[in-house]
């Protein structure tokens, strides 16, 4: 730093003054925190957010609504509901239905995790939990299909019943697949979209097969 010794400040340049940091107007909303609101308001806000995501799944379109504010409450509710409706089938006639509930629960979450890892390894631009959120919420049409199939089985288990259940399950399978790809396709490189869609297809196909082959005790 020997050259700095020759640097001098001219006397014509004023160096006096005040240094101030501009502070914007402080609004009361900036001090508001979710810790200050009633528990009821917090629960209602979360329920409305989950409901809006359900609407986006039932009317799928290319949107970032499921990706922007992700959560796992909706997928958890759908997974538990589907597992509860699938338990107690004829395949578990010797047991109390507990293992079947665990099997459905593990298949859904493990399958979603595998698809998410596959998406990330192929260069996906969304986060791990965003992908889980989308895959979980898109189980909604298949949960509706399971509910319809349970109601149809109450009327009987003949050929007509099977045809009705087949139509409902195939329609909802296509709905779930299209809804999930509508949200996830744009996050993948163009030349690798097929490698991402294929595991999603298998994931919802396995769930659809469990629904279609379900028969109560």
What is the number of structural domains in the chain? Answer: 1
Per-residue pLDDT of the chain (217 residues; tens, 9 = 90+): 555 555 555 555 555 555 554 554 444 444 445 666 777 777 787 788 777 777 777 776 655 555 667 788 888 888 888 888 887 655 444 555 445 778 888 888 888 888 888 888 877 777 778 888 888 888 999 999 999 998 998 887 788 889 999 999 999 999 998 888 877 766 777 777 778 788 888 999 999 999 988 887 6
Domain membership flag for residue 3: no
Is the Cβ–Cβ distance between 118 and 110 less than 8 Å? no
User: What are the tokens at 7?
Assistant: 């640097």
Domain membership flag for residue 197: yes
Give the burial class of 197: count Cβ atoms within 10 A of its Cβ; 0-12 exposed, 13-18 middle, 19 or more buried.
middle
54-99, pLDDT tens digit by residue? 777 777 665 555 566 778 888 888 888 888 888 765 544 455 544 5
Q: Which domain holds residue 176?
A: 71-89+97-213
Domain membership flag for residue 51: no
Domain membership flag for residue 65: no
23-38, pLDDT tens digit by residue? 544 444 444 456 667 7
Domain membership flag for residue 169: yes
How many residues does the structure list for the chain?
217
Cα–Cα distance, 113 to 115 (Å, whole number):
5
Domain membership flag for residue 159: yes
Selection from 57, 105, 115 nearest residue 210 by Cα: 105
Domain membership flag for residue 112: yes
Cα–Cα distance, 46 to 33 (Å, whole number):
15
Residue-wise DSSP of 45-75: HHHHHHHHHHHHHHS--S-SHHHHT--SHHH
Domain membership flag for residue 38: no
Q: Residue 36 to residues 29, 41, 123: CA-CA distances in angstroms?
A: 11, 10, 41
């Amino acid at each position: 730093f020997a050259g700095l010794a020759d640097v001098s400040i001219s006397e014509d340049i004023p160096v006096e003054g005040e240094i101030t940091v501009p502070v914007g107007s402080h609004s009361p909303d900036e001090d508001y925190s979710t810790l200050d609101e009633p528990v009821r308001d917090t629960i209602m806000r979360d329920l409305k957010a989950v409901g809006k995501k359900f609407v986006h799944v039932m009317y799928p379109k290319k949107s970032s609504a499921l990706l922007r504010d992700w959560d796992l409450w909706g997928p958890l509710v759908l997974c538990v509901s589907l597992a509860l409706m699938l338990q107690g089938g004829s395949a578990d006639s010797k047991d109390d239905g507990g293992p079947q509930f665990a099997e459905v629960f593990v298949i859904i979450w493990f399958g979603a995790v595998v698809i998410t890892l596959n998406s990330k390894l192929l260069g996906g631009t969304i986060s791990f939990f965003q992908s889980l959120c989308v895959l979980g919420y898109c189980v909604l049409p298949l949960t509706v299909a399971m509910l319809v199939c349970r109601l149809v089985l109450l009327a009987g288990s003949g050929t007509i019943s099977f045809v009705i259940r087949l139509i409902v399950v195939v329609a909802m399978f296509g709905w779930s697949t299209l809804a999930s790809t509508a949200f996830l396709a744009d996050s993948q490189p163009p030349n690798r979209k097929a490698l991402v869609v294929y595991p999603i297809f298998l994931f919802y196909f396995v769930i659809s097969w469990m629904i279609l082959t379900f028969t109560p005790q």
